[in-house]
Amino acid sequence: MTKRCPNGSLSAGHPGFNIAPQHARDGRVKSSPQESQRMSKLHLVFGGRVTDPRTLDWADPSKLDVVGIFPDYASAEKAWRANAQRTVDDAEMKFVVVHLHRLLEPDLVTTPEA
């Protein structure tokens, strides 16, 4: 059984961490509006060295620092902020928040603040 990591992210196998979508016969992901409101809005926080601070061109993708996967934007932002502030003096270090829920179910994206 896995647990919540010390940084607050969910470990694979956690009861609330199931990203496998259910598919209809035609291959599309099936879900109702009620299901989408219950779905965790998962966010991935990662970062690393970029070749140019104005871009997201990673210098060495194999050395990216994966901070974790978080169940909501607030906790992901907190982790992002902590890592970004830790590396504030290094202009070539950049951390980002990825809205995994938007990638997993793009048809359900309705609001820009999610």
Residues near 11 by beta carbon (within 8 Å), at least 6 away in sequence: 2, 3, 4, 5, 17
Residue 42 has pLDDT above 50, yes or no: yes
Q: In the numeric block, which tokens belong to residue 70?
A: 């978080």
| Residue 107 predicted with pLDDT over 60 | yes
Give the domain extent around 65: 40-108
**Residue 63 placed within a domain:** yes
Between residues 10 and 64, the one the model is more confident about:
64
pLDDT band per the 50, 70, 90 thresholds, residue 13: very low
**pLDDT tens-digit readout, 46-97:** 999 999 999 999 999 999 999 999 999 999 999 999 999 999 999 999 999 9
Q: Which residue has tokens 């956690």?
A: 14
DSSP states of 56-74: --BS-GGG-EEEEEESSHH
Please report whether residue 24 resides in a domain. no
pLDDT, average across residues 21-37: 48
> Is residue 85 one of the residues assigned to a domain?
yes
Q: What is the CATH number for 53?
A: 3.30.70.2400
- pLDDT on residue 47: 96
Between 107 and 23, whose confidence is greater? 107
How many domains is the chain built from?
Answer: 1
